[in-house]
Structure 1
Amino acid sequence: MKSILLHVDHDRGFKARLQVALDIARANNGHITCLQAVSYAVFAPGDIYGSAMAAAIPVIKENAENLRAEIETELEHEGVSWDWRFVYGMAAQRLLEYSPLADIVIVGPAASGESEHGPSALVGDLVLKSRAPVLVVPAEATGFDVSAPALIAWNGSSEACHAVRGAVPLLACSCKVTLASIAEEQDKPRFDLPSTEGARYLSRHGIACELVEIPRGEAKIADTLVSAAQVRDCGLMVMGAFGHTRLTELLFGGVTRQMLTEPPLPILLAH
């Protein structure tokens, strides 16, 4: 991962994903582009003359400048190549604009102004529209050990294949890769690729992996995958996102939605 796009924001998880970005950059001799998007879209009921917005703009600008000064001072002592992009506009749109030449986009599970008790709209937009894989970092993360075991959540879908392909540089650093699939008792005939094809693809990149089939049981698929990752002391999970339509995921839930609500470990997603 040579080109790392990092979302800069005031949310409580920023320091966590900054540390993860630094760890990945050091391991790959990579470059971090810190993208700070500032929006002046302030809504106040009854503010027909824009007085609330006018009062908020200087505060928003000052907070953004203070955060930039603080992080730039810290980065100067990290020994990592980086640059800073300060732009106006909505974060999701600006990140998408800068993502085409990024090897990975690093974000948190929730941006400023979003609820921390549900999946992030910012993450959803990035995963669906960006060609680069998206790494979602929990706010509680203290770093990223690139050599730690990794778990691939495999269901043979094109989304899972895209995630594996995007994760190859990180998987190549892992000491042990597990490709796990959930066995459904009443699987309908599908045209998805078997796990052996995923293993064969990885082998061509010099990455050996263990194939594991986990019984579905009574637990939710997301919980089963998390348990499998925790048992193996994984530092990364790789999975395809929004295998069903996003509307279906939002209305009825789904593995992606469950994973993004409270991610227990860094999760690399691709659609």
Structure 2
Amino acid sequence: MKTILSLIHDDEGQEARYQAALDVARGVGGHLACLDLTIVPEYVGDYSVPMTAGGLLLAEDTAVEAAHASRMRSRIEREDVPFDWTSTTGFLSQTLEARAGLIDLIVVSTDHTGAFFAHMTHVIGDLFVHTGKPVLAVPPANCGFTAQGRAVVAWDGSQDAEAALCSALPLLRIAKSVTLFHADTGAMTTDVDEAARYLSRHGIKSTVKNEPIGLERVSEALVREVASEGYDFVVMGGFGHTRTIEAIFGGATRTMLLKCDVPMLLVHRR
């Protein structure tokens, strides 16, 4: 996990996204690949929108983004993290996907209010499908990424959970503590204790927490666990397909994107 793609865009999630990307880069000794993106609205090119109106709005966004990019670049030049900078204009999903080839981690925002981008969960789902890269989803109100904090791994024994665990190793090595949380539905394929042994072989001590959930949805148990135990970040598998996002645990990824207050490292095995 050395090359970290950080989206630079003037929106309410920018500061949290920026700080999280910096914190991860510092924690793993990584490099920031800054993507300064003027986002083309989905309705530009829609025949129901006059071309002059769409063009004027895009021109206005371009001017705003140029000023924002200048401020952000000045800030990152004063940081102790190596970086490169690319400025472009395009659709959000497609541009992130095109830039993700030689990237180890993509940092984006969650946005259940729609204030930044009305279908951010769709964007994350598209990134799962088309890139297969780990995605760090950061809530806009978050203060950064506590790399040396307390981590929880949502475990259901699926291939996505396995992929998430493997991808998260650089972060789990420096975490203060690691908990493997298994909401027991009786449907697990790879045993949670095997996941703990895997971490141990990488020099990572973990605690296994089995939670019988009865009639409760697993997503609800996971949200409650994260909130009550004060974890600093979550690692979990995610399942996506074009223009939608589904999840491990029957909807847990979607629920976490809506309700979780800490950063989430999400991985889908293509």
TM over 0.5: yes
Pair 1:136–1:259, CA change in 2 (3 A): same
Could you report, residue by residue, the CA deviation over 1:224-254 in whole angstroms, capped at 9, with x for unpaired residues?
112222333211111111289986839xx71
Tell me how far apart the structure 1 counterparts of residues 184 and 103 of structure 2 sit (CA, whole Å): 35
| Structure 2: stretches of 5+ with no match in the other structure | none
Amino acid at match of 1:91: L
Post-superposition offset of 1:88: 2.4
Which residue in the other structure is 2:127 paired with? 126
Question: In terms of mean alpha carbon deviation, does 53-62 or 19-28 score higher?
Answer: 53-62
Tell me how far apart the structure 2 counterparts of residues 237 and 155 of structure 1 sit (CA, whole Å): 14
Post-superposition offset of 1:33: 0.8
- Within the candidate set 219, 222, 226, 2:219 is matched to 222
Post-superposition offset of 1:72: 0.6
1:237 aligns with 2:238: no
Could you report, residue by residue, the CA deviation over 1:168-188 in whole angstroms, capped at 9, with x for unpaired residues?
10011111111111112xx35
Pair 1:206–1:141, CA change in 2 (3 A): same
Amino acid at match of 1:58: A
Q: Is the CA contact (8 Å cut-off) linking 1:149 and 1:232 kept in structure 2?
A: no
Amino acid at match of 1:210: T
Which residue in the other structure is 2:64 paired with? 63
Q: Is the CA contact (8 Å cut-off) linking 1:148 and 1:233 kept in structure 2?
A: no
Which residue in the other structure is 1:83 paired with? 84
Which residue in the other structure is 2:38 paired with? 38
Q: What RMSD in Å do the two structures reach over aligned CA positions?
A: 2.5
Pair 1:208–1:217, CA change in 2 (3 A): same
1:269 aligns with 2:266: yes
Query: 1:234 aligns to what SS in structure 2?
Result: coil
Query: 1:79 aligns to what SS in structure 2?
Result: coil
Q: Is the CA contact (8 Å cut-off) linking 1:128 and 1:270 kept in structure 2?
A: no
Post-superposition offset of 1:193: 0.8
Tell me how far apart the structure 1 counterparts of residues 211 and 30 of structure 2 sit (CA, whole Å): 36
Could you report, residue by residue, the CA deviation over 1:62-119 in whole angstroms, capped at 9, with x for unpaired residues?
011011001011112222111211122212122122223212110001386523xx76
Could you report, residue by residue, the CA deviation over 1:119-138 in whole angstroms, capped at 9, with x for unpaired residues?
62111111222232101001
Which residue in the other structure is 1:114 paired with? 117
Pair 1:128–1:263, CA change in 2 (3 A): farther
1:10 aligns with 2:7: no
Q: Could you tell me the TM-score, scaled by structure 1's length?
A: 0.87
Percent identity of paired positions between Structure 1 and Structure 2: 33
Pair 1:104–1:216, CA change in 2 (3 A): same
Counterparts of residues 37-186 of structure 1 (less than 5 Å): 37-41=37-41, 42-43=43-44, 46-48=48-50, 50-110=51-111, 114-115=117-118, 120-184=121-185
Pair 1:17–1:160, CA change in 2 (3 A): same
Which residue in the other structure is 2:204 paired with? 207
Pair 1:244–1:202, CA change in 2 (3 A): farther
Tell me how far apart the structure 1 counterparts of residues 21 and 90 of structure 2 sit (CA, whole Å): 23
Query: 2:211 aligns to what SS in structure 1?
Result: strand
Tell me how far apart the structure 2 counterparts of residues 262 and 228 of structure 1 sit (CA, whole Å): 12
Could you report, residue by residue, the CA deviation over 1:185-243 in whole angstroms, capped at 9, with x for unpaired residues?
xx35x6x2111221122112111111111011444322211222233321111111128
Amino acid at match of 1:53: G
| Structure 1: stretches of 5+ with no match in the other structure | none
Query: 1:156 aligns to what SS in structure 2?
Result: coil
Post-superposition offset of 1:58: 2.1
Q: Is the CA contact (8 Å cut-off) linking 2:123 and 2:243 kept in structure 1?
A: no
Q: How many residues align?
A: 262
Question: In terms of mean alpha carbon deviation, does 106-115 or 2-11 score higher?
Answer: 106-115
